[in-house]
Amino acid sequence: MSQTRFLKPNFENWRYLVIYLAAGLVFAFYALRLFSLQIIEGEKYQADANNNRTIVVNTPAQRGSIVDRNGFVLARNVPSYNVVITPALLPDDEDSPGQLQKIYRELSALIGTPVNKGDTSEKTVKNFTPCISDLGIEEIVYIGMTNWPFSPIKIKCNVDRRVALAVQEKAPDWPGVGISIDAVREYPTGNLTAEIIGFLGPIPENSLKYYTDRGFISGRDKVGFAGIEYSMQDELGGVNGQTVMERDGAGQQLRNLEAPVEPIPGDDVVLTIDTRLQTIAREALLAQIKKYNDNAGKMKSNSGVVIAMNPNTGEVLALVSYPNYENNRMAREIPSYYYNQLSQDPTHPMLNHAISIQQPPGSVFKMATAIGALNEGVVTPEYQVEDPGKIVLMEKYYENDPGRPYEYVCWDKAGHGMVNFWWGVAQSCDVYFYKIGGGYISENGVGDVKDGGLGPWRLSDYAKALGYGHILGIELPGEIKGTIPNPTWKRINHYENWTTGDTYIASMGQGYVSTTVLQVLSSFSTLANGGKVMRPTLIREVRSQDGKVIRPFSPEVLWDITVDPQINVYDGNNTTGEMKTVAPWVIETAQDAMRMVVTDGTAKETFEGSTVESAGKTGTAEYCDDTAREADICNRGTWPTHAWYAGYAPYDNPEIVVVAFVYNGGEGSVVAAPVVRKVLEGYFELKDTTITAVP
């Protein structure tokens, strides 16, 4: 008989220790993880859970309206009707076979959107944008069911009101199909005021944080893209409302969790613009450009500007920048083809030519030279300077440079003879301004004017005192400073020394001098009102929706050149640290001279028989830009010219100042001055007209 011997297994204790340790580590890991999830990160996950079951419904605020000074509506909200489908509310094909397809077919016949185009590719779904995509009803519903089953998805936007009513009538037979109403912008005056009003667009990527922090929703809300719509966005836009609601797993909204926060509507903005005068100004400019081109037998000019302002308050009464654009075409969406067309147009219709493009001002700039020369005692009003029709200057680049002769001519090559201040301004005598601006030593070694003329430094100061070279602060985006040069500026920007010839042509508003039309307007407004540089403004009032005035109008004086020192005192070529003002008699003398421009000077023929007693200054500015170079018309002696005219009325108690600029318009007295005359006469005719605001 055999015996089986059973031995006790030899299992060392350390193995138990390893097992227990491993089990302990696993337990500790899960315990720590549980502690982290529930205690340390508990609030975060609780918030995530709440976010999963809650939804914040953002309610858009009503945008404020824009009206002119007489209550004429320039921008308002109108309803846009959209056909929408809530996918989760559509009938189930299994319960009601054929009903869903019947709805699709009937809806398709009504709104003109095909039932199915057979395109549900990943790319199509990813790039889907309501109202823009070219998909059938079934594809759009499929995208909505996949992403937002309980949210209405737009099938077709901006349908006719009769179509919207027909859809609503079919509501009992078309479950899930309905109408949503969006507020869209309408601009009753269209391109008459587009350069002022601007338009709306989707929130730009570079401004996304700014707007989302203020409660706006990207992809839904629109904000100002240009004009007053942009600059007054905070006032017009209002504050969106919101409601916190509970939702189920499918996204269906169940109940409010918090009291709703109602949206705050935007404020209404009242502009200083008079739409009637705006119409007169635009029609006058376009008619004059057409007449000029017709007389030339070809297209010579295709752009221009007219601005009218009250010189005593800074209120802009009309602002025309031609060409511009039709802002109603961008009311619901910005068509890419139209935007690209505008962007590539060489006449730059998207830019406001009144404030965003700088031009040589030519002879309208002479008034800066004029008041500077009088105020500095370079000449007295009675002092006569000889104009033989041309002078020869030894052009020098440094003090001991022997120089080389250079001929400077007057626009009247026969000359004006002996010319005093009044006649120099009235006849826009070039040689007179050459001499008082840069000085002149005749062949016998005798100087015509004191101290060699005004000089570049003082010329720069007086120009800036009148408003040139400044951002004046009008409520439009894109305003630029222009260029008022001096020797330091030329050395920094062109790496060259300043010459006497530079002073000559700068005194004429040529050479390196470039300004905006608004700055020219400001300079003449300052002279017309006795020395006050007013901030130009387009905003008359801001009102709440109930009509309460939130921001009343208050004129703002930037500075008064007769009271607030604006001009450096120079000792040779250095400043003394002192500042001085312009004597009131200097401005009065300049006003008398500008009156002579109309009665006996370069604008006499244009204003003959006018019912309005005005004063002003003509300007014909030589230029050579890229367009002129491409046309090969930049030739010495026959430079192309812009037409300018600035005028105000009544000359002895000004109420309105007007500037007209016509690109490549030739003579200012012939092309620009008639535009100003029509605007001035139109203004005084309108004063006695009964106003009927259009709602």
Per-domain boundaries in the chain: 48-72+188-271, 80-86+103-181, 275-687
Q: Which of 161-170, 389-398, 538-547 has the lowest mean pLDDT?
A: 389-398
Mutual angle of helices 99-111 and 161-169, in 10-degree steps: 160
> Where is mean pLDDT largest: 149-158, 173-182, 552-561?
552-561
Residues 6+ apart with CB under 8 A from 674: 284, 288, 606
Residue type for position 623: Y
Residue with tokens 């309905």: 178
> What does the DSSP assignment read for 158-217?
EE-HHHHHHHHHTTTTSTTEEEEEEEEEE-TTGGGSHHHH--EEEPPGGGHHHHHTTT--
Number of Cβ within a 10 Å radius of residue 112: 10
- Which residue intervals of 54-98 are DSSP H helices? none
Residue type for position 155: I
Q: What percent of the chain has pLDDT over 90?
A: 60
Question: Which helix (H) or strand (E) covers residue 246, if one does?
Answer: strand 241-247
Number of Cβ within a 10 Å radius of residue 67: 24
What's the topology of domain 275-687?
Beta-lactamase (3.40.710)
CA dist 469 → 290, 373, 499, 514, 519 (Å):
32, 19, 21, 9, 8
CA-to-CA distance for 375 and 454, rounded, in angstroms?
Answer: 10
pLDDT in tens, 392-441: 887 777 767 777 888 888 988 888 999 999 999 999 999 999 999 998 87
Residue with tokens 């109403």: 181
Query: Pick the residue with more confidence: 126 or 320?
Result: 320
Residue 282 has pLDDT above 80, yes or no: yes
DSSP state of 106: H
CATH of domain 48-72+188-271: 3.90.1310.10
pLDDT in tens, 637-690: 788 999 999 999 999 999 999 999 999 999 999 999 999 999 999 999 998 776
Q: What is the model's pLDDT at position 333? A: 81
Residue 130 has pLDDT above 90, yes or no: no
DSSP state of 450: G
CA-to-CA distance for 319 and 472, rounded, in angstroms?
Answer: 15
Q: What is the model's pLDDT at position 612? A: 96
Q: What is the model's pLDDT at position 635? A: 79
Q: What is the model's pLDDT at position 220? A: 83
Q: How confident is the model at residue 276 (pLDDT cuts 50, 70, 90)?
A: very high
Q: What is the model's pLDDT at position 1? A: 47
Residue 88 has pLDDT above 90, yes or no: no
Residue with tokens 């009144």: 354
Question: Which helix (H) or strand (E) covers residue 140, if one does?
Answer: helix 137-147
pLDDT in tens, 217-237: 888 889 999 999 999 999 999
CA dist 511 → 112, 621, 634, 645 (Å):
61, 10, 14, 19
CA-to-CA distance for 372 and 584, rounded, in angstroms?
Answer: 12
Q: Which of 12-16, 191-195, 307-311, 517-521 has the lowest mean pLDDT?
A: 12-16
Q: Which of 132-146, 175-189, 348-362, 542-556 has the lowest mean pLDDT?
A: 132-146
Q: How many residues does the chain have?
A: 695
CA-to-CA distance for 150 and 57, rounded, in angstroms?
Answer: 13
Q: How confident is the model at residue 618 (pLDDT cuts 50, 70, 90)?
A: very high
Count CA atoms closer than 13 A to 244's CA, side-chain side: 8
pLDDT in tens, 248-259: 555 566 566 667
Residues 6+ apart with CB under 8 A from 160: 81
Number of Cβ within a 10 Å radius of residue 613: 15
Question: Phi and psi dihedrals of 76, rounded to 5?
Answer: -150, 170
Answer for the pair 277, 308: CB distance below 8 angstroms, yes or no.
Answer: yes
Q: What is the model's pLDDT at position 177? A: 92
Q: What is the model's pLDDT at position 447? A: 66
Question: Phi and psi dihedrals of 436, rounded to 5?
Answer: -75, -20
Encoded tokens for 165: 């009513």
> What does the DSSP assignment read for 496-561?
----HHHHHHHHTT-TT-BB-HHHHHHHHHHHHTTSEEEPPB-EEEEE-TTS-EEE-----EEEET
The arithmetic mean of pLDDT across residues 352-373, rounded, is 97
Q: How confident is the model at residue 694 (pLDDT cuts 50, 70, 90)?
A: very low
The arithmetic mean of pLDDT across residues 558-578, rounded, is 90
